[in-house]
């Protein structure tokens, strides 16, 4: 029960942080979405250890674990655009497949690069 409460508090803090970053973007009239700016700021805060990973870890892991559920509304929403899908469906499908392949290759290459770099540090 304690872990659930801590995780809920961490998710609430992440939500408040995301809303705050959206507010900052509106106030400063920045052409970057608040969610992207929030990720950048959160990364910087974690990197410089202003925020400790332990403060957000349980909530972040829960959000990652349930990530698929966040895509269900958008997937179901595609049904509303039957004419668009019948006209451009093949093009959209090709773009989704190509971009998925690109992301997989890029992520795999970056992961291998980081793993090799860590191995070199262990050896030295």
Burial class of residue 11 in the structure, from the number of CB atoms within 10 Å of its CB (0-12 exposed, 13-18 middle, 19+ buried): middle
Q: Where are the domains of the chain?
A: 1-72, 81-123
Query: pLDDT band for position 122 (50/70/90)?
Result: confident
Based on C-alpha coordinates, what's the Rg of the chain? 19
The 10s digit of each residue's pLDDT in 91-111 is 988 998 999 999 999 999 999
pLDDT digits (tens, 9 = 90+) for 27-45: 999 898 988 999 999 999 9
| pLDDT of residue 57 exceeding 70 | yes
What local confidence, expressed as pLDDT, does residue 124 receive? Answer: 66
In Å, the largest CA–CA distance within the chain is 60
What average pLDDT does the structure give for the chain?
88
29: left (phi over 0), alpha (psi -120 to 50) or beta: left
Is 80's pLDDT higher than 90?
A: no
Place of tokens 């990364």: 43
Two tokens at 88? 């451009």
Question: Tokens in use for 4?
Answer: 């659930």
What pLDDT sits at residue 110? 94
**Averaged pLDDT, 77-90:** 85
SS3 state of residue 50: coil
Query: Would you state the pLDDT for residue 24?
Result: 93
């Amino acid at each position: 029960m304690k872990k659930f409460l801590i995780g809920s508090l961490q998710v609430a803090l992440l939500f408040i942080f995301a809303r705050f970053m959206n507010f900052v973007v509106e106030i400063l009239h920045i052409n970057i979405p608040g969610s992207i700016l929030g990720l950048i700021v959160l990364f910087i805060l974690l990197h410089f250890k202003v925020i400790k990973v332990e403060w957000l870890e349980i909530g972040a892991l829960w959000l990652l674990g349930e990530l698929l559920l966040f895509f269900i509304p958008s997937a179901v929403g595609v049904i509303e655009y039957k004419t668009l899908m019948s006209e451009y469906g093949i093009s959209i499908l090709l773009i989704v497949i190509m971009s998925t392949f690109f992301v997989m290759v890029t992520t795999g290459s970056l992961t291998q690069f980081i793993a090799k770099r860590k191995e070199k540090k262990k050896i030295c």
